[in-house]
Amino acid sequence: MRLARFSLDGQVHNGVVESDRIHQLAGSFFDAVEKTGHSFSFAEVTLLTPVEPSKVICIGLNFKDHAAEIGQNPQDEPLMFFKPPSSLIATGEKIVIPPQTKKAELEVELALVVGKKAKNISEADAKSYILGYTIANDVTARDVQFSDLQWARSKGFDTFGPLGPWIETDFQPANKKLISRVNGEVRQSGNTQEMIASPEALIAYVSQNLTLFPGDVILTGSPAGISGFQSGDLVECEIEGIGTLSNPVA
């Protein structure tokens, strides 16, 4: 099932995507899924980020080849950092490169969406806490990342968190392709098999450090091939079995 949030005539709704239509839901994703009977074409609505998380937790260096390309060693434990919810934008929205950076780069990542409150859960129980998966672009000001001791600024600029287009609840994370493109040209081509820690291991690890709430998002790390983009480009992140997150650059 594909769960999406959308706006129509200034109102925000939840929906289920079935082929080329979006069916309005009576409640939230975290209640029983109940259709109202109204459905719309994609042309009639504006897709929003599929959730409004209390926090976005990111995992750094979860692919060995990406750690190597930025000259870092993977840690013994997952490396956690945050992106602020204010950085999030939906598919179709514009990424704005701020004047503080000369090196904005893309990172396609599988994003796990938390389905219920999770604290100190085990990897064996993790599946029941996962609502589903979506796609994220962990946009990074690479020069600022290396000039600052912490990554709050380089990862946290407004619009540096494209997320969407929807949540796929049936997605199985093993052996799925992750691809990013700029203006149609492939920049990253990875596979979830290359992850050091699995999504289930990551939600368990994060929950042992802080409480996760429904709708919180965990970005599971980027494969190698990070590269830059510029004003006027079209940046796309695709994950096999979910879809494509597409953002023009202002």
Contact between 222 and Mg ion by CB under 5 A: the answer reads: yes
User: Between 138 and 236, whose beta carbon lies closer to Mg ion?
Assistant: 138
User: Between 142 and 181, whose beta carbon lies closer to Mg ion?
Assistant: 142
Residue spans of beta strands (DSSP E) within the chain = 2-8, 11-18, 21-25, 35-41, 46-47, 56-60, 79-83, 88-89, 104-106, 108-114, 130-137, 140-141, 161-168, 177-182, 185-191, 217-219, 227-228, 234-239, 243-248
Minimum separation from the CB atom of position 188 to Mg ion (A) = 11
Contact between 105 and Mg ion by CB under 5 A: the answer reads: no
Contact between 188 and Mg ion by CB under 5 A: the answer reads: no
Q: Give the Cα separation of 180 and 191 in Å (integer).
A: 12
User: Between 89 and 121, whose beta carbon lies closer to Mg ion?
Assistant: 89
Residue 185, strand partner residues: 182
User: Between 67 and 118, whose beta carbon lies closer to Mg ion?
Assistant: 67
Task: State how far Cα 51 lies from the chain centre.
Answer: 10
Site for Mg ion in 106-145 (CB under 5 A): 107, 138
Minimum separation from the CB atom of position 49 to Mg ion (A) = 17
Minimum separation from the CB atom of position 120 to Mg ion (A) = 25
Contact footprint for Mg ion (CB under 5 A):
107, 138, 222
